[in-house]
Structure formats: C-alpha cells, structure tokens
C-alpha cells in the first residue's frame, strides 16, 4: 500500500457536482493498493498515520499527532499511486489491485482509521471520477509505502 498524506486546513471530494465528504483541519490521505497488499499493511499504515506528529504544539513545533490536534481525515482511493513509469511515457497500472481485492481492503483501511481516530473518516467513492480540493497546510506532504518502510 502507498499513501500520500497531506496536512490540510480543509479538503473535500466532489462526485458529479455533489460534495461527498469535506473536512477542516487534518489529513487528506491518498491511498493506492496493489494486489499483494493485505490487512497487515493497512494496520501498519493506520498506526503510523494516527501517530504521525506533524501538527504544531503551543511553541509552533510539529510535535502533535492528529489525535492531539483534534483533526479529521479524508481518505481518497487513488490507483495511480501504483503507476510504473519504468518503460516509456505512458504509465502502467498493472500493479494496482483489481476491484475485488482493493475495495474490501480500502473499506477495511477506512474503518480501522476511523477506530484509531475515534470518529468517522471522510471518504471518496472507489472507482468514481472525483474532484479533490485541498489547502495544503505548511505545506506538509509525507509519502509512505508498506513495501519500503523507512
């Protein structure tokens, strides 16, 4: 699994002109799933995201987690995170999981993240044409990959 985590002042996802989810301060999480991913990968990512200390404390130092900052989370599935650009100029998405693997894992990830956060996370709609808006705060953008835990 790959994620791009952006600390945001606000973010939303709109589908067919209707706002599906919107958050204020928190994280916009773009999630890519490959066929080899499993619940262990989701659990590891959820723990890392909830514990990530990138919100300012009273001294203006990035030292608080999303729990301590009282933030929200919006999760958007994004198969293009699994793109391979090794050959040619047209990305290959062969590593992206098929719907029958990705949808249950996406739902599991969102549910586990909601449990860790102590409130419902916002979501997009798997496979939909989504318009995502955000105001990156910082900017703070962090990438994680369960196959390369650095």
Is there a catalytic annotation at residue 80?
A: yes
List pLDDT tens digits, range 41-52.
999 999 999 999
Which one from 6, 27, 55, 79 is the annotated catalytic residue? 79
The two tokens of residue 95 are: 């590593």
Q: Write the CB contacts of 45 (distance below 8 Å, at least 6 apart in sequence).
A: 1, 3, 109, 144, 146
List pLDDT tens digits, range 59-104.
999 999 999 999 999 999 999 999 989 888 999 998 999 999 999 9
- Domain range annotation of the chain: 1-143
Top CATH class of 1-143 equals alpha beta
Is there a catalytic annotation at residue 55?
A: no
Is there a catalytic annotation at residue 39?
A: no
Q: Write the CB contacts of 110 (distance below 8 Å, at least 6 apart in sequence).
A: 75, 121, 123
* C-alpha span between 113 and 48 (Å, rounded): 10
C-alpha distance from residue 48 to each of 62, 76, 116 (Å): 15, 17, 10
List pLDDT tens digits, range 109-143.
999 999 999 999 999 998 899 999 999 999 999 99
Which one from 6, 27, 55, 78 is the annotated catalytic residue? 78
């Amino acid at each position: 699994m790959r994620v791009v985590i952006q600390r945001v002042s606000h973010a939303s996802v709109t589908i067919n002109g209707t706002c599906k989810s919107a958050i204020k301060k928190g994280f916009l999480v773009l999630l890519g799933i490959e066929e080899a991913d499993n619940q262990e990968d989701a659990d590891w990512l959820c723990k890392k995201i909830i514990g990530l200390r990138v919100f300012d404390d009273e001294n203006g130092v990035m030292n608080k987690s999303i729990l301590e900052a009282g933030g929200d989370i919006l999760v958007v599935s994004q198969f293009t995170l699994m793109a391979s650009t090794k050959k040619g100029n047209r990305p290959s998405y062969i590593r992206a999981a098929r719907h029958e693997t990705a949808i249950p894992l996406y739902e599991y990830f969102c549910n586990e993240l909601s449990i860790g956060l102590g409130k419902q996370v916002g979501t997009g709609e798997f496979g939909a044409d989504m318009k995502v808006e955000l105001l990156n705060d910082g900017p703070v953008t962090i990438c994680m990959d369960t196959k390369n835990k650095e």
